[in-house]
Amino acid sequence: MERRILSLLLAAVMLLTVLPYLPIEADAHKIVMTAEEFIDCLWVAYSRPNYYYNSFPYNLGYYDGSRISFDCWNLGKAIIWTKGEIVNNYTAGAYAKMDTSCGLGDWDGERIIREAPNCGSDFTDLVPGEWLYMDNHTGYYVGDGQVIECTAGWDVWAITVSQIDKYGRRSRNGVYNGYWKLHGMVPWLDYSGDQETWVEAASFDPMVYRDRNPDLSPSLTDAQLKEHWLERGIKEGRPSSTILDLGFYLANNPDLKSAFGNDYEKVYEHFVTSGYKEYRKSSALFDGKYYTERYPEVAASFKDEYLRHYVQNGQAEGRRASLTFDPDYYWHIRPDVYDAWPNDYTMCARHYAGHGINAQIEAYDNEHPVITNATISNVTADGYTVTCTATDDWGISKVVFPAWTVHNGQDDLAEQFMDTQKGTKDGDIYTFRVKASEHNFEGGQYVTHIYAVDKGGNTTQLVLDTVVVEDPVEETELLLTDKAPFVLDGTLLKNVTSGTAVESLLAQFDNEVLEVRHKDGDILTGTDTVGTGATVSLYDGDKLVDSATVVVLGDVDGTAEVNTTDLVRIRSAFYGTLTMAEAERCAADVDKNGSIDTTDYLRIKAYFLEEFDLYD
């Protein structure tokens, strides 16, 4: 018994010795700020001159007098350690001033995310202010499908705004770059405030709200602007984001006017609960019906959550969501916006929602292209050439020349002609050759249209006078041109030299459409070279009309060149141990005396050694 009591006393002494050094759970994580304040600090850091610098100790708040440096997870740690001072006051200091008394040590991103009580990999419903993690990188979810991160990715080398979808996929302006691995609410932030739905969060944008409502004090912080919106802005029907302008929403949905009058609180409640699901117009930048009709794949995949696709992905990808706002056109007329945020479609939309609408700027192209000087030339039995001049104040996207014969209606109109019948561009001049071969070789009257499409999708159509094409001459046999160096001798095409390309061979024929195949049956085209045994064939539809077998002098084995194999085959034929086909015998009979003998062998050998020219 005494031994047991002694053991218990010894254990108690050891426990008291260790206790001061054990972490006290209640004090391990201290709340430093709210998640909303943390997000405000991230936006401040993003808006000020900054640079990605991954080199200790300058990666945390090093200020060189003009810009401040961070790397990915030290951006979040810096804000928490300094309670936001480091981004609100750029003289806040560098790494040596870190304050870890809140319980956040100098950890890497993975250690921090593991501290999150809700750490997980399901990205369906993220909460603004959550910490994101992928291998060796961290970001911070700020709502609306947006992530603020400090990165060298995409060659930005700074704090930037990227996007995240419900699968955790990471992208920026439509350019994808991996997947986030984990997310979680960090223990040093207070998330206890009323959590907004994603559509409520997307309905307010402090940048748009500030710019669109110039009567508000410019000194208001983002948090104060949000407070104003919730307490007064909704009641007053103020525009608040790229997707929501309550005055616009009410004016463009007369049934709501009848139901709610000017009660904007009820109008707002209608939008965030059901209106956005009903394909309604809610701002000059967003029209649900337009968006889903323009992008049917979005409608099919997201159904009544199509707006979520737009705020989380579509806006950043530059997708058009209304007839009255085209981000690319806005950049065209406001190059200063592009210069400020190059290739950033989200900032383009936010700028127009904040400034462009107030300035009554038409941010879409409503001018149609102009077609002039349309002419028809070079009319032959093979077809005709169409030429025109097409101009536009923004720029031409394409000029298309669909054509068809009057006979049998439009049975010969090319499928998907807006993509397949595009003209060749030379400055403002566009040219297209209408080929009878693409219209069943039909002669007679041809109808031709011209469609000029500009970058905004506006189209101008011009109908040309009917063109009469003579019936093409029926081709029944292979025909060489008058200047052809080749000779058609029965079924053999002779005098073809080593190294002759298919395109050069076909240029010596008067026939319009021919097919060339290797002796093994593979089709040869363009710069492919022809050898002995290759065939040139003429078809009438699917029917073979005429053909000839190529003979390349000296090329006995059909490789399109003269080599040692040809020497061996000639010697074998001379000794009677090899039987050759007719084309091969003609290729081996280099002295053209009708038999294969030692002279042929010696000439081939001399050619191979570059001492004799077979083709001179």
For position 614, what pLDDT does the model report? 82
Inter-residue contact 548 to 478 (CB < 8 Å): yes
Q: Which pLDDT band, with edges at 50, 70 and 90, does 24 fall under?
A: very low
Please state the separation of Cα 388 from the chain's center in Å.
31
DSSP symbol at 245 = B
Distances (CA, A) of 562 to 23, 313, 533, 536: 86, 61, 14, 21
SS3 534: coil
Please give the Cα distance from 72 to 67 (Å, whole number): 16
For position 125, what pLDDT does the model report? 84
Give per-residue pLDDT as tens, 243-293. Answer: 999 999 999 999 999 999 999 999 999 999 899 989 999 999 999 999 999
pTM (2 decimals)?
Answer: 0.51
Give per-residue pLDDT as tens, 119-145. Answer: 999 998 899 999 999 999 999 999 889
Domains parsed from the chain with CATH numbers: 28-190 (3.90.1720.10), 198-356 (no CATH), 370-469 (2.60.40.3760), 487-608 (1.10.1330.10)
Give strand pairing partners of 377: 385
Q: Is the pLDDT of residue 344 over 70?
A: yes
Mean pLDDT value of segment 568-592: 90
What is the H or E stretch that residue 36 is in? helix 35-47
| Token pair of 70 as six digits | 């961070």
Distances (CA, A) of 416 to 63, 387, 407, 412, 453: 58, 21, 21, 12, 15
**Percentage of residues in the chain having pLDDT higher than 90:** 64
Mean pLDDT value of segment 329-335: 96
- Which strands make up the sheet holding 68-70, listed edge to edge? 50-52, 68-70, 60-63
| Token pair of 362 as six digits | 């038409």
Give per-residue pLDDT as tens, 524-534. Answer: 999 999 999 99
Give per-residue pLDDT as tens, 450-501. Answer: 999 999 999 999 999 999 998 766 778 999 999 999 999 999 999 999 999 9
Q: Is the pLDDT of residue 383 over 50?
A: yes
